[in-house]
Chains A and B, each alone.
Chain A
């Protein structure tokens, strides 16, 4: 099917992401931490724990709890974001937790909690994905036992054209149909741990967009690994 969106507003190739930068161990006080930047979206993640879970009645002697908190700083969007949790941030915190859970060996941490705090300093779409990428590096940096990393990117379908790493300008295109599809994947098994969609797409288009995201996600996984190796080398 031919698309009216034959050239991206940002001049990127359809499968090209914005420049990515990842760094591990950026927050000294944390047990593990990371910064993940994709274009003008920057996420910081800090991991605290495993530490004792309070209130005590929430403790589980069989496994630990993974608690995620996503937050946008007041100056991270065009209009000031009011501090404190919103319905949106609560939902993103939840899907972030679900995205990371499949790789974290919580059986190793009975009665404990592993806290993941994600802060966005600047956003230009794709903030939950950047948050998940940062959190995954931070968890590994904290030495939490994991089966693999989790990688995340948002793909988009703009008038039937699949694009990788939708930015704010593309998300706000009004004269064409835009679907925004954040995806998270475990690179070694290709399991999908986060999948959301805002906008219209056919089943074929959706499946195709996941397929097209795969090689990009694997490349980002390399960047994550590099960031960790960089911290622990020599």
Chain B
């Protein structure tokens, strides 16, 4: 069945058309909302076509890692909720969800988005822990990019919590923002046959030959990458994919800034 779908998508792409009528380098309409979860310290929802992702930030105080006693801790979690797609089953996150979480994590970590030095309370003993969870409500493709946008927006939306006797007072939000210093946007480029496309739907992801996720910073420098898919990429492919990722990141960044300005 997938082979038929693949042939169909390939035939159409040769004529420059995608299943949903988009052009190859065209994103679906993105809608970004902030503060969608009352219980989270920061939150955002990103809708793009039929995909909808929610990201929420929770804070707590914990011990730092022994090798970085002065740095706050951050982690990204993700799950392929069975609510969001007929093909998902319950249970602990499998490799697809782990990859989404880790690629988003890598972008934020290596892009030095959070100034973790500012999250130290007592060197070697107490630091802030920033927990970012990215979950699809409806999964119709491109979870890494949209999850990444949601995570960054939620981080920008988050407020620190009050502290009493070295413990967090849950629910008591202060007016202080998280120390956010950069916004590395992950952009995933898919290669199907000889065609490069952006913002894939679920169907397109199923027939991909290769994909490359590139996290792009404000000044167009790259801070993280991940190749996926079963076939190889040529240097020329990679070159084109990175160019396209940078171009797209600029478009998305504009939308993100508009949403944050609201």
Contacts and interface: CB of A to CB of B under 8 A. Distances in A.
Interface of A: 26-31, 40, 42, 44-46, 48, 51, 69, 71, 73-80, 83-85, 115, 117-119, 121-124
B250 interface: no
A30 B39 CA distance: 26
Contacts of B93: 83
Given A29-B85, A30-B86, A83-B93, A75 B137 contact: no
Contacts of A45: 83
B214 interface: no
B90 interface: yes
Interface in B26-54: 36-40, 43, 50, 52, 54
A42, A73, A77, A123 pick with most chain B CB within 10 angstroms: A73
Contact of A75 (B39, B83, B85, B171): B39
Which secondary structure dominates where chain B touches chain A? Answer: mixed
A83 B171 CA distance: 20
A75 B50 contact: no
B85 A80 contact: no
B131 A80 contact: yes
A159 B131 CA distance: 39
A9 B36 CA distance: 24
Interface stretch (B2-10, B74-82, B119-127, B215-223): B74-82
A62 B47 CA distance: 41
A119 B56 contact: no
Contacts of B82: 46, 48, 69, 115, 117
Given A69-B82, A74-B77, A79-B170, A121 B138 contact: no
A30, A115, A117, A121 pick with most chain B CB within 10 angstroms: A121
15 contacts: A31-B86, A42-B37, A46-B82, A46-B84, A51-B86, A71-B81, A73-B37, A73-B54, A75-B133, A76-B37, A83-B92, A83-B93, A117-B82, A121-B37, A121-B54
Contacts of B137: 26-27, 44, 119, 121
Nearest to B82: A117
Nearest to A82: B77
Contact of A27 (B79, B84, B131, B171): B84
